[in-house]
C-alpha cells in the first residue's frame, strides 16, 4: 500500500461538500455513497485537513471530528472520501524514529522507506490465542521485582506527580528491556507537552536506547481527535512487533488519563449527553478497546507501563476507577521519598501487584515480600514516637525493627544506567535472586552492625562489604545520621 493518502485508493473519488463547521466538528453532505464510520475524509488546500467520520446523521450527511486544525475551511468546499480508516506505518524501518498520529516522521530525519501501512483499529486477540501462563517480567530494579513484580503481557500503572522520577524510571526500564531482554520499546505520549517529548528524545538518544525504540506523540496543542487516536496508532505498531516479528514489546503510555480526557472532548463536541462528573458515556468501552489489545499471546507479549494521573488525588474518580480495573500492578511514586534521596522514589506500602502471590512468585519470595512490608509498616508507625520522644524511648525489639527497616530502605535504592552522567554512580542491574538474597540477609540481622550508608545505592548485598572498607572513619567522613548513631549506641 502506498503512502499517497491515509486510506485506500478508489477509481472514482467519492466526493461531498461541507455544510457546517463548528470548531473541530464538521458536517459533510454526500449525494450518493455515504462513508463508513471511522473513514477518513480529506479537504482543504492540498487536502491537508483530515476528518474522521464519527456518525452518519441521515442518508446523506455524516458528522466528523477534524484530526488537524480547521483554519481555512468554509461551507461548500469539496471533501474527498479516502475509503479507509487511519493508517499507521509498520516495519523494521520505524525503529529509532518519532511519529505523529498520521505516521509522519517528526524527528527531522529522512523519509520512511520500506514500510507497510495498517489500519489503527483492531479487535483484541481472542481468548483462545492468549497465553494463560502467568510470568514475571523482570525489570532489574530491586524494589519493583521484590515487592510489586510486573506481569509479562500485563499492564502496570505508574502514579506520580511532576519531579518524582517518573521519566527516569521509565527510561531505566526501557534501557534494561532493550539491553537484556532483546525487546522493542514503544513510547506513546498522549497530550504531552512538546518540551517533555524533546527532552525524552534527547535522554533516550544519550542513553543509547533509541535504536530499538519507537516514539509517538499526540501533543497537548493538537486537536482532541488527534490525541484520541495516537494510542491506537502505537498499539498497531506494538502488535506488528508481537505478531509478525515475535518479539516482546514494552509499551509506555504517558498519560492514560489524557486519552480519557481527549475522548471526553470528542464526546462533548459530538453533542453526546455527559455521564457522571462530565465524562463521556462511552468511557468504559473506549478504554477497554485500547487496553484489551495489550495482551500476552503465543507469539509474544505486549507489556505496558502507563502513567496514570488521578484527578485531585480522588481514587473514586470514574477515570481512575475504570483505569485501575485494567491494571495488574500499581506503582505509586512518593515525593516524600524523593526528598529523602531514596531513589527510585516508590512508596512500597501503597504500591501493589496481583502477581505478588505464592502461586506465581513462589512461597519464599511471597514470605519475604510480606516480611519486608510488615517491617516497613512497623517503622512507619514508630516514626511519630521517634519524632516526639526520640529513638531511646523504644524497646530493644522496636529499635531492631527500625534498624532493619532503614537498612532495607537503603538497600532497595539503586543507581540507574540512565542517570550515570548526573550522579557519577555506575548503573546496576540486579537479578531477582540477588535482590531476595539481600533482603533476607538484612531481615536476619546479618548487617545490623553495618552502617546504613554502606547499603545506600548499591547493587547486590555483597557490595556493602566493599563499601564498608571505604567508610572507615576519617576526618572528612560524614557523621552518621542521628537515628543511626543512637541505634549503635544502644546496641553497644
> Of the residues 57, 92, 193, 374, which is catalytic?
193
Q: Examine the residue annotation and report whether 155 is marked as an active-site residue of this protein.
A: no
Angle at alpha carbon of residue 177, lines to 231 and 435, rounded to 5°? 125
Count of positions (residues) in the chain: 492
Q: Examine the residue annotation and report whether 193 is marked as an active-site residue of this protein.
A: yes
Cell numbers representing residue 152 in the block = 509479562
**8 Å CB contact between 121 and 85:** yes
Angle at alpha carbon of residue 32, lines to 29 and 34, rounded to 5°? 65
Cβ density class 169-187: b for 16+ within 10 Å, e for less: bbbbbbbbbbbebebbbbb
> Of the residues 192, 286, 409, 452, which is catalytic?
192
> Of the residues 152, 166, 410, 453, which is catalytic?
166
Angle of helix 482-491 relative to helix 396-411, nearest 10 degrees? 130
**8 Å CB contact between 219 and 192:** yes
The set of catalytic residues is: 166, 192-193
Amino acid at each position: 500500500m502506498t503512502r499517497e493518502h491515509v486510506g485506500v485508493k478508489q477509481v472514482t473519488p467519492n466526493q461531498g461538500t461541507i455544510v457546517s463547521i463548528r470548531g473541530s466538528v464538521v458536517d459533510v453532505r454526500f449525494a450518493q455513497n455515504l462513508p463508513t464510520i471511522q473513514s477518513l475524509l480529506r479537504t482543504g488546500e492540498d487536502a491537508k485537513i483530515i476528518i474522521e467520520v464519527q456518525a452518519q446523521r441521515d442518508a446523506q450527511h455524516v458528522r466528523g471530528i477534524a484530526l488537524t486544525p480547521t483554519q481555512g475551511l468554509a461551507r461548500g468546499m469539496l471533501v474527498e472520501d479516502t475509503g479507509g480508516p487511519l493508517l499507521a506505518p509498520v516495519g523494521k524501518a520505524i525503529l529509532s524514529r518519532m511519529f505523529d498520529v498520521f505516521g509522519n516522521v517528526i524527528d527531522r530525519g529522512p523519509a520512511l522507506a520500506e514500510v507497510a501501512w495498517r489500519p489503527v483499529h483492531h479487535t483484541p486477540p481472542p481468548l483462545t490465542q492468549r497465553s494463560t501462563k502467568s510470568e514475571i517480567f523482570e525489570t532489574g530494579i530491586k524494589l519493583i521485582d521484590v515487592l510489586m513484580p510486573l506481569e509479562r503481557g500485563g499492564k502496570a500503572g505508574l502514579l506520580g506527580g511532576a519531579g518524582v522520577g517518573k521519566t527516569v524510571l521509565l527510561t531505566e526500564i526501557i534501557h534494561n528491556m532493550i539491553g537484556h531482554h532483546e525487546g522493542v520499546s514503544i513510547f506513546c505520549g498522549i497530550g504531552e507537552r512538546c518540551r517533555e517529548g524533546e527532552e525524552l528524545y534527547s535522554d533516550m538518544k544519550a542513553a543509547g536506547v533509541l535504536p530499538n525504540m519507537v516514539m509517538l506523540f499526540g501533543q497537548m496543542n493538537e486537536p482532541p481527535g488527534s490525541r484520541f487516536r495516537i494510542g491506537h496508532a502505537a498499539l498497531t505498531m506494538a502488535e506488528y512487533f508481537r505478531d509478525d516479528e515475535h518479539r516482546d514489546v514494552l509499551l509506555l503510555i504517558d498519560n492514560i488519563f489524557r486519552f480519557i480526557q481527549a475522548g471526553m472532548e470528542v464526546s462533548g463536541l459530538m453533542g453526546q449527553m455527559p455521564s457522571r462528573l462530565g465524562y463521556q458515556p462511552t468511557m468504559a468501552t473506549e478504554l477497554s478497546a485500547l487496553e484489551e489489545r495489550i495482551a500476552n499471546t503465543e507469539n509474544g507479549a505486549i507489556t505496558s507501563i502507563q502513567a496514570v494521573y488521578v484527578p485531585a488525588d480522588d481514587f473514586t474518580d470514574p477515570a481512575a476507577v475504570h483505569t485501575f480495573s485494567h491494571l495488574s500492578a500499581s506503582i505509586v511514586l512518593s515525593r516524600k521519598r524523593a526528598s529523602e534521596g531514596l531513589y527510585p522514589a516508590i512508596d512500597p506500602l501503597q504500591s501493589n501487584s496481583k502477581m505478588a502471590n505464592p502461586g506465581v512468585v513462589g512461597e519464599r519470595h511471597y514470605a519475604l515480600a510480606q516480611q519486608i512490608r510488615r517491617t516497613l509498616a512497623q517503622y512507619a508507625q514508630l516514626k511519630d514516637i521517634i519524632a516526639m520522644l526520640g529513638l531511646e524511648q523504644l524497646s530493644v525489639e522496636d529499635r531492631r525493627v527500625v534498624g532493619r527497616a532503614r537498612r532495607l530502605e537503603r538497600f532497595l535504592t539503586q543507581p540507574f544506567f540512565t542517570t550515570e552522567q548526573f550522579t557519577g554512580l555506575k548503573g546496576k542491574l540486579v537479578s531477582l535472586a540477588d535482590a531476595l538474597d539481600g533482603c533476607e540477609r538484612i531481615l536476619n540481622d546479618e548487617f545490623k552492625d553495618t552502617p546504613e550508608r554502606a547499603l545506600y545505592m548499591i547493587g547486590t548485598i555483597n557490595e556493602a562489604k566493599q563499601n564498608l572498607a571505604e567508610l572507615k572513619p576519617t576526618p572528612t567522613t560524614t557523621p552518621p545520621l542521628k537515628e543511626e548513631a543512637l541505634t549503635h549506641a544502644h546496641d553497644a
